[in-house]
Structure 1
Amino acid sequence: MPRIPDVTLANPRAARVKQVRALSGRPARSQHGQFLVEGPQGVREAVRCAPSAVRDLYLTEAAAQRYREIYEAALEAGLFVHVGTPEVLAAMSPDAQGVLAVVRAVRPTLAEALGSLAEGRRRPLLVAVLATVRDPGNAGTVIRAADAAGADLVVLAGESVDVHNPKVVRSTAGSLFHLPVVSGVPLAEVVRAVRASGCSVLAADGAGDHDLDELLDVAGAAGRPAAVPDLAASTAWVFGNEARGLDEADRELADAVVRVPIRGAAESLNLATAATVCLYASSRAQR
């Protein structure tokens, strides 16, 4: 069993510490093409699923002992591992919990992601599209929900939040490294591309013409009317901005607009909850 090395980083004001901390801001991320992964769960998945993208791993001595599997997996992958004092790790990130990774940003294009998914495919596609979603917690939670539901791709369309924002990365709980995430593509372009890949495009909106439960009732059925979307087929769900939802022009891009039924007194569901319900409905129908 590898011995935990002695502390090598002890100065919280060192240049390296400042360079790592700067990655919490978008200018430094854009300049260096790197981002932060904070906390044991996210770092564990980065080391396990994307070791070639991990530039440096930082741990306190206590964290290296507690999360020995991360430390040993990083060594086995040949990664650069640094042990620092708690003060150094806190200076790099107050949310690191003693474990932090600097990761190279991999930004697949939409064409690359869809092309890779098409190779040897034998089951329907499931895609989550976020249209101008600005809240990092919501964006990260939808990525995590999409991963859990077995979705194939997430797209942050239009002026959505930066996928490498630290709050987005933390909210994904490692799911960012489980499925492709594309960003910066206009919604109309996304719709054209996923439709060309065989997906029907469903917009989630409280004023939708179709009820999600009713679509589940007829999913995959031979007698389903042609005008009724089939949740068992390849589907791209479009979810709108937290405050404004989808505007009329965005809804018109979709093949159908679907509402999640509200049976209680709640006015509505928040974005991440509605997205989770819709994605799981498609996942169940596709199975």
Structure 2
Amino acid sequence: MTPGSPLTAGNSRVKDTRKLSRRSDRSERRLFLADGPRAVEGALSRAGCVVEVFATPAATEQHTDLVAAAPVWTLVDERALASLSDSVSPAGVVAVCRFLDRPLEHLLDPAPRLVALCADVRDPGNAGTVIRSADAAGADLVVMAGSSVDAYNPKTVRASVGSLFHLPLAVEPDAAAAVRAAKAAGLVVLAADGGGDIDLYDAGELLIQPTAWLFGNEAWGLPAELAALADHRVAIPIHGRAESLNLSTAAALCLYASATAQRAH
């Protein structure tokens, strides 16, 4: 722990760290912020991820396990901590973390069994929830493709509830290239599509194979040209009167269907 009085919001180190709230600064420095004890715990579980932890004196007393695990633990006052957090009620601890993503081609060799491929997913809460669902289902990889939201957006990090730190991540600006790479690695690409020609619960043997699930934008789904690159388009049946399922719910159902089928064989 760094000794001395807690740093204030006007401290140059705090002000420099605050700049990581901007995507441009995150991308340039390949650093991001993990806000809250769960996120910080997850970050600390990933070797070499955490650069420094900022915490209030009260949070320091409360989270002695995190203090012991952190490479650098710096005390800040309440106002300084609040300036680093985007939460309405900051929990008193924020970690500066190194980017986690690796090139997609590296993560596809050898080919994983289950992949969540997000194409143009714009909502940070949805993106974080898909990452959390992928982690829970035992997926091997998450790909943020196309014009998807920044995986290191504070809201995405928070919505993942630590899962961002649990599984490999790739960022691929070209969604079509991501689909082609998955297919070249031997994965069956299944597009989650309400207009799909296969019912998820009739997919049977299809779900046993190494699979990359392709999920589209919350509002307009998958572009026709991207869905056409998939091996199959799979629909989740709607038994009631709802028009559709939201993205994060659909992703959880698809990933768990594959995980269940794969584990049964």
Query: How would you bin the TM-score normalised by the shorter chain?
Result: over 0.9
Q: Distance in 2 between matches of 1:199 and 1:265?
A: 34
Q: Distance in 2 between matches of 1:234 and 1:54?
A: 32
* Residue 93 (structure 1) aligned with residue 81 (structure 2): no
**1:273 aligned residue (249, 256, 259):** 249
Tell me what 1:80 maps to. Answer: 72
What is the Cα deviation at residue 8 of structure 1?
A: 3.0
Runs (4 or more) in structure 1 with deviation over 2 Å come to: 4-10
Tell me what 1:30 maps to. Answer: 27
Number of residues of Structure 1 aligned to a counterpart in Structure 2 = 261
Tell me what 1:57 maps to. Answer: 53
Q: Distance in 2 between matches of 1:5 and 1:82?
A: 5
* Residue 155 (structure 1) aligned with residue 180 (structure 2): no
What is the Cα deviation at residue 5 of structure 1?
A: 6.9
How far does the alpha carbon of each residue in 1:81-118 deviate from its partner, in whole angstroms, 9 at most, with x for none?
A: 11122222112224241010001113300011112x44
Report the residue type matching 1:262 in the other structure: I
In structure 2, runs of 5+ residues without a counterpart are none
What is the Cα deviation at residue 6 of structure 1?
A: 5.7
What is the Cα deviation at residue 31 of structure 1?
A: 2.3
**What is the TM-score with the length of structure 1 in the denominator?**
0.87
SS in 1 for 2:207: coil
Question: Does the CA contact (< 8 Å) of 2:32 and 2:98 recur in 1?
Answer: yes
Q: Distance in 1 between matches of 2:191 and 2:68?
A: 45
Report the residue type matching 2:100 in the other structure: V
Tell me what 1:45 maps to. Answer: 42
Question: Does the CA contact (< 8 Å) of 2:190 and 2:233 recur in 1?
Answer: yes
How far does the alpha carbon of each residue in 1:172-208 deviate from its partner, in whole angstroms, 9 at most, with x for none?
A: 1111111111113312211221112221110001111
How far does the alpha carbon of each residue in 1:152-190 deviate from its partner, in whole angstroms, 9 at most, with x for none?
A: 011111111111111111111111111111113312211
Question: Does the CA contact (< 8 Å) of 1:159 and 1:184 recur in 2?
Answer: no
Q: Distance in 2 between matches of 1:155 and 1:105?
A: 14
Question: Does the CA contact (< 8 Å) of 1:55 and 1:80 recur in 2?
Answer: yes
Report the residue type matching 1:253 in the other structure: L
Moved more, 59-68 or 268-277: 59-68
What is the Cα deviation at residue 250 of structure 1?
A: 1.1
Moved more, 58-67 or 147-156: 58-67
Cα distance change of structure 1 residues 182 and 237 upon mapping to structure 2, 3 Å threshold = same
Tell me what 1:71 maps to. Answer: 67
Cα distance change of structure 1 residues 252 and 108 upon mapping to structure 2, 3 Å threshold = same
Report the residue type matching 2:129 in the other structure: T
How far does the alpha carbon of each residue in 1:195-222 deviate from its partner, in whole angstroms, 9 at most, with x for none?
A: 122211100011110001111xx33xxx
Report the residue type matching 2:174 in the other structure: P
Is the radius of gyration larger for structure 1 or structure 2?
1
What is the Cα deviation at residue 18 of structure 1?
A: 1.3
Question: Does the CA contact (< 8 Å) of 1:7 and 1:84 recur in 2?
Answer: no
Percent identity between the aligned chains?
49
Q: Distance in 1 between matches of 2:86 and 2:259?
A: 37
Tell me what 1:261 maps to. Answer: 237
Q: Distance in 2 between matches of 1:154 and 1:167?
A: 17
How far does the alpha carbon of each residue in 1:32-87 deviate from its partner, in whole angstroms, 9 at most, with x for none?
A: 2211010100100111123x12111111111112122111122xxxx111112222
Q: Distance in 1 between matches of 2:234 and 2:50?
A: 40
* Residue 248 (structure 1) aligned with residue 221 (structure 2): no
Cα distance change of structure 1 residues 109 and 5 upon mapping to structure 2, 3 Å threshold = closer
SS in 2 for 1:183: strand
**1:10 aligned residue (7, 11, 22):** 7
In structure 1, runs of 5+ residues without a counterpart are 119-123, 220-229
Report the residue type matching 1:57 in the other structure: V
Q: Distance in 1 between matches of 2:9 and 2:245?
A: 43
SS in 2 for 1:150: coil
* Residue 185 (structure 1) aligned with residue 173 (structure 2): yes
